[in-house]
Structure 1
Amino acid sequence: MKKWRPFATMPEQYIELKEVINKQLEVDQPVLTEEQMEQINFTLIETLHTNKQVYLTYYKKGQCITEKGFIQFVDFLGNLFVFIDEVFELKNKMKLSELIDARFM
């Protein structure tokens, strides 16, 4: 697909080629086992209380994204958590169901 990029002379054509390439890179959301979910919950609780930095891997729009940051708030009943990323120090509010993995640094 990359060899056709020089031929994308019209903006519409380039947009369509970019969409085709992005669709090919999409993956399905992994299904977690009960043990994996318990490990993630344990990691979230421990990082919340000790204020340790953590690697978070989450699923968003067909991609698995890994970021480094701090957990600020976890609501297990509301199915959400808030973390502050290391780079821009922005608060990110996400669903716990999107979380794939959480590991200490």
Structure 2
Amino acid sequence: MEPRGMKKWRPFATMPEQYIGLKEMINKQAEVAQPILTEEQMEQINFTLIEALHTNKQVYLTYYKKGQLITEKGFIQFVDSLGNLFVFIDEVFALKNKVRLSELIDVRFA
């Protein structure tokens, strides 16, 4: 007689297709629509980005990516308003992240 091990405790994961389908359904339910910003909000974000870039202050960035609002803490390294792009270095892994300015929702000083 051979023990079943972890198979006994994972009844819904026995069929990989079903498990993948359930995960996709749960992720779709968690998606949100991208918020639309007013001109005043976009100006405030622009001023905060420029000030954070010049003073090298740490900021909280909230941006929209694949149906989710993501908030990260980091330093602004580069802003290209013509190319609709900015680069920031996150606090956790110290990696450079490129994000479009159109995906940016909020910027606040830490």
TM (norm. structure 1) is 0.93
Distance in 1 (alpha carbons) for counterparts of 2:98 and 2:54:
18
Q: Which has the larger radius of gyration?
A: 2
1:78 counterpart SS class: coil
Residue 18 (structure 1) aligns with = 23
Partner of 2:100: 95
Amino acid of the structure 1 residue aligned with 2:77: Q
For this pair of structures, how many residues does the alignment match?
101
What residue identity is the alignment partner of 1:10?
M
Match of residue 48 from structure 1: 53
Q: Sequence identity of aligned pairs in percent?
A: 87
1:9-56, Cα deviation, whole Å (9 max, x unpaired): 211110000000000000000000001000000000000000000000
SS, match of residue 47 in structure 1: helix
Deviation of 1:7 after TM superposition, in Å, equals: 2.5
Q: What CA distance in whole angstroms lies between the structure 1 residues aligned with 2:96 and 2:23?
A: 30
Query: Structure 1: which 4+ aligned runs deviate by more than 4 Å?
Result: none
For structure 2, the residue ranges without an aligned partner over 5 or more in a row are 1-9
Q: Which runs of 5+ in 1 are unaligned?
A: none
Partner of 2:70: 65
The two structures, once aligned, show a CA RMSD in angstroms of 1.1
Q: How many Å apart are 1:6 and its aligned residue? A: 4.5
Structure 1 match to 2:82: 77
Counterpart of 2:97 in 1: which secondary structure? Answer: strand
Instruction: Quickly say closer, same or farther: Cα 1:11–1:42, change in 2 above 3 A.
Output: same
